[in-house]
């Protein structure tokens, strides 16, 4: 048997806290400020704890109130999302997708137009976000995660491995410090993603070379920025081969050493378990899977051979 507080009072509490005022909360709930005051009083009496500290003109949450609000907000939000999901037509043609930023800008965005051609009726609402999300707390339908694929309580579908290779601007190769073997990197700036400092170290291991302390190093917060920095001739970064295929084939980036580091991480398409997919969701999922298995439009593989050591300097002519 459950022991629950007066639930309607919780709704009033949450609105009051959010608005920072009983009067404002009353307006939102279409009742008078007096009604709000009564409700809060009831709740406080039930709990035996003051949730707001009153200073005759303004109200402010007490520490207990703040703590309680977090959970109440979370719970009400879940109810709201669940109710909306239930009420919303089963056959909407809108799909809300949250995508790992790098995958979004370098893979999905360039292919969006192809999806829209195939499914002009389906509206994709895309947002970028790192890390996991709680499907019970957001109205997001599906997501593209970056990681090792080990997540609980969600349906996971493998999309694509992430293999890192060093990339740099073609100009870098024209400088006085050539890149003939991995050890030559000591004369260059290594660009790190600050949360994944170990990647360069691992790469040197794979390249059967000792880890070198680079001339300079540059730390940036995301792989998007490191790739951009490499392109701006700021040094050498580690980037995924597939995701940078456009820059490589256009000659904006070159691969001085075609030695890939297997990060053991990948991109995955995920969605809620036990949830029947709408037609639109199914269409997106199937398109994504088919598209990712299709041969690369930009033909990296063939181009790449022109950018590996030996012929690398030749590719610099374009830029």
Partner DNA sequence: ACCTATCATGAGTTTTTCTCAGCAGTCTCG
Partner DNA sequence: CGAGACTGCTGAGAAAAACTCATGATAGGT
If binding is defined by CB under 8 A, does position 67 make contact with a second copy? yes
Q: How far apart are CA 233 and CA 151, in angstroms?
A: 38
The partner in contact with residue 80, picked from DNA, a second copy, none with C-beta cut-offs of 5 to 8 angstroms by kind, is a second copy
Q: Residue 285 has which token pair?
A: 């999922």
CA Rg value for the chain: 27
Q: How far apart are CA 294 and CA 7, in angstroms?
A: 52
Of the pair 21, 160, the CB lying nearest DNA is at: 21
**Which DSSP letter does residue 49 get?**
S
Let me know: does 15 contact 59? Beta carbons within 8 Å: no
The partner in contact with residue 86, picked from DNA, a second copy, none with C-beta cut-offs of 5 to 8 angstroms by kind, is a second copy
If binding is defined by CB under 8 A, does position 219 make contact with a second copy? no
The partner in contact with residue 88, picked from a second copy, DNA, none with C-beta cut-offs of 5 to 8 angstroms by kind, is none
Count Cβ atoms below 10 Å from residue 152 Cβ, excluding itself: 7
If binding is defined by CB under 8 A, does position 10 make contact with a second copy? yes
Interacting span for a second copy (CB under 8 A) from 33-41, 66-74, 91-99, 113-121? 66-74
Question: Which parts of 129-158 interact with a second copy (CB under 8 A)?
Answer: 131-132, 136, 152
Residues shown for the chain: 319
The partner in contact with residue 14, picked from a second copy, DNA, none with C-beta cut-offs of 5 to 8 angstroms by kind, is a second copy
If binding is defined by CB under 8 A, does position 84 make contact with a second copy? yes
Smallest gap from residue 97 Cβ to a second copy (A): 21
Of the pair 26, 214, the CB lying nearest DNA is at: 26
DSSP 273-318: TT-PPPHHHHHHHHHHHHHHHSPPTT-HHHHHTTTSTTTHHHHTTT
- One of 34, 71, 194, 205 touching a second copy (CB under 8 A): 71
DSSP 86-129: HHS-TT--EEEEEE-HHHIIIIIHHHHHHHHHH-TTPEEEEEE-
Torsion (CA) 283, 284, 285, 286 in degrees, nearest 10: 50
If binding is defined by CB under 8 A, does position 79 make contact with a second copy? yes
Contact residues toward DNA (CB under 7 A) are 6, 8-9, 12, 21-24, 26, 29-35, 37-42, 52, 54-59
Where on the chain is the footprint of a second copy (CB under 8 A)?
A: 1-5, 7-8, 10-11, 14-15, 28, 47-49, 64, 67-68, 70-72, 74-76, 78-84, 86-87, 131-132, 136, 152, 274-275
């Amino acid at each position: 048997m459950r022991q629950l507080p007066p639930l309607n009072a919780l709704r009033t509490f949450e609105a009051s806290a959010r608005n920072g005022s009983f009067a404002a909360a009353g307006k939102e709930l279409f009742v008078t400020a007096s009604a709000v005051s009564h409700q809060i009083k009831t709740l406080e009496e039930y709990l035996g704890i003051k949730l707001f500290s009153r200073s005759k003109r303004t109200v402010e949450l007490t520490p207990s109130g703040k703590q309680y609000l977090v959970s109440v907000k979370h719970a009400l939000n879940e109810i709201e999302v669940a109710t909306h999901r239930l009420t919303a037509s089963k056959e909407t043609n809108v799909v809300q997708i949250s995508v790992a930023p790098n995958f979004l800008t370098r893979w999905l965005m360039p292919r969006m137009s192809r999806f829209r051609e195939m499914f002009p009726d389906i509206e994709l609402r895309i947002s970028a976000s790192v890390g996991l999300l709680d499907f019970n707390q957001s109205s997001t339908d599906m997501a593209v995660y970056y990681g090792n694929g080990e997540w609980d309580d969600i349906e996971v579908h493998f999309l694509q491995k992430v293999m890192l290779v060093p990339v740099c601007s073609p100009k870098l190769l024209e400088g006085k410090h050539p890149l003939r073997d991995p050890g030559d990197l000591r004369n260059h700036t290594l660009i790190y993603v600050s949360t994944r400092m170990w990647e360069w170290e691992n790469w040197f291991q794979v390249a059967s070379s000792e880890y070198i302390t680079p001339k300079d190093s540059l730390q940036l917060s995301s792989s998007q920025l490191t790739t951009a920095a490499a392109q701006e001739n700021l040094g050498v970064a580690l980037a995924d081969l597939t995701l940078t295929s456009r820059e490589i084939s256009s000659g904006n980036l070159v691969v001085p050493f075609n030695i890939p580091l297997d990060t053991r991480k990948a991109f995955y398409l995920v969605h809620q378990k036990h949830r029947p997919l709408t037609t639109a969701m199914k269409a997106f999922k199937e398109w994504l899977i088919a598209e990712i298995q299709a041969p690369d439009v930009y033909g990296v593989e063939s181009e790449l051979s022109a950018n590996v050591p030996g012929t690398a300097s030749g590719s610099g002519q374009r830029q």
